[in-house]
Amino acid sequence: MQPQERFYPATPDFRDAFGRDRDRIIHSSYFRRLEYKTQVFINHSGDYFRTRLTHSLEVSQIARTLAKNLGLDENLAEAIALAHDLGHTPFGHAGGDELDKIMRHYGFHHGFDHNFQSFRVVTKLEKRYKDFEGLNLSFATLEGVLKHSYPYEKSFINSNLQNFFRVEFHPSLEAILVDLSDEIAYISADIDDGIKYGLIGFEDLKENALVARALEFVEREEGIVRHDSIFRHRFTSRLITMLVYDILDNHKPFAQDSVQCFTTLAKESLPISHTTTIEQEIKALKKILLKCLYRHQEIYKKMFMGKRCVRKLYDCFNNETNLLPKDLQARISNGEKIHRVCADYIASMTDRYAIALYHELGF
C-alpha cells in the first residue's frame, strides 16, 4: 500500500490524508480519555502533573518541529504522535504490566502491549463509522503506531499484519521522529514533575553530563539561580532545546517530495538518531531516573494501588460478565474471548473511573 492509502475508501476533502488522520484521532473518545490517564503521577495527585494527554501534545509539538526543520511531513508526524499512546491503560506502565501478566496467565502468549493496543484502538475499538471498525487511518499513520519502538518483530504482529506492515523495514522517517520526540518529551517532563513533587532534585541529576550542561547554561547564560521559581522551567526548556538541536545538527534536511515507507532495512541503523555522545548521556540519565524517581517509594505506593485495582477489576469481569457494558457482552456472545474483551475494557478506562468502579464493587 502507498503511504496515503486507506483500507477503506474515503472521499477527498479540504485536508490532505495525514491532516485527516490527525483530526480523526483528536475527535476520538480514546484521545479525550488520555486527559485522565497517568503518565508517571496518578491523575488525582494534582492538576499540575503531566497526563497521557499533555504528554501526547508535547510529543506532537516536538515531532512537528523536527519534521518541519528536516523537510518531512508535519501532519504525519503529528498524527502518529497523537495516536501513539491511545492504548495505554490507567495507572501508566504499572497498569499495562499487570494486564500483561493476566493475559499471559490466561494463555495469550503475546500478553498486553500498549503499542499494539493503540493499533487496536484506531483499527477496531473506536466506533465512528457505519461500514467499518476503527478510524480508517492512512497506511503510514498505522505503520507509525504499530512500529512505535524498535525492534519491530513483536509476537502480536501475526502473518496477516506482516503482509502489510513488513517488520524487516524501518517505518517512515516521520515515525522515527515521533519515537525520538517521545523520549525527549518524557525525560524532560518526568524531571520537571519529579522536582515539582519533591521526589528528585538537581543534586541527584547533576553528575549526568547532559544535565550539567543544561544547568550551566541556565545559570550562566540566562543568569537564573537555582532557588528562583522559574529555574525549573528554564532548565526543562533548555534540556528539550539541546536534544532537538542534537538531532537537527546531526542531519541535513531530507530531499523528498512525499512520505516514503519500506526504504530502510531494520537491520541497518536508524536513518535519524541522536549523536553517539548524546545517546550515551540519555541512557545514563534514564538510569538515574529509574533509581531516584521511578522506583521512589511514593511512586511505588501509587503504582501498587493501580496494579491491585486492575487485577481486582479483571477478576470481577472475568467471573461475572454481566458487570460489563452491553456492547462488550455482545462481543463475548459473538465469539470473542472474554479475556481479550475484559482487557480492552480496562485499558479504555481513565484512572478516576477505574478507581471509582473499584470502590463501587466493594474494594
In the CATH scheme, what architecture does the domain 17-196+252-265+299-360 have?
Orthogonal Bundle (1.10)
> Is the distance from CB of 153 to CB of 249 less than 8 angstroms?
no
State the cell numbers at 312: 481486582
- As beta bridge partners, residue 169 has 265
| 80 vs 57: CA distance, rounded Å | 11
Report in angstroms the alpha-carbon separations of 75 from 2, 60, 71, 140, 255: 16, 10, 12, 11, 17
Each residue's pLDDT expressed in tens, for the chain with a length of 363 residues = 889 899 998 888 898 999 999 999 999 999 999 999 987 766 555 556 789 999 999 999 999 999 999 999 999 999 999 999 999 999 999 999 999 999 999 888 888 999 999 999 999 999 999 899 999 999 999 999 999 887 787 878 877 888 888 888 899 999 999 999 999 999 999 999 999 888 999 999 999 999 999 999 999 988 998 888 899 999 999 999 999 999 999 999 987 777 888 778 877 888 999 999 999 999 999 999 999 998 888 888 888 999 999 999 999 999 999 999 999 999 999 999 999 999 999 999 999 999 999 999 998
Domain boundaries, the chain: 17-196+252-265+299-360
Identity at 270, one-letter amino acid code: L
**Cα end-to-end distance, the chain, whole Å:** 49
Grid cell, residue 165, equals: 506492515
Phi, psi of 134 (to 5 degrees): 80, -165
User: Which triple of cell numbers denotes residue 149?
Assistant: 519502538
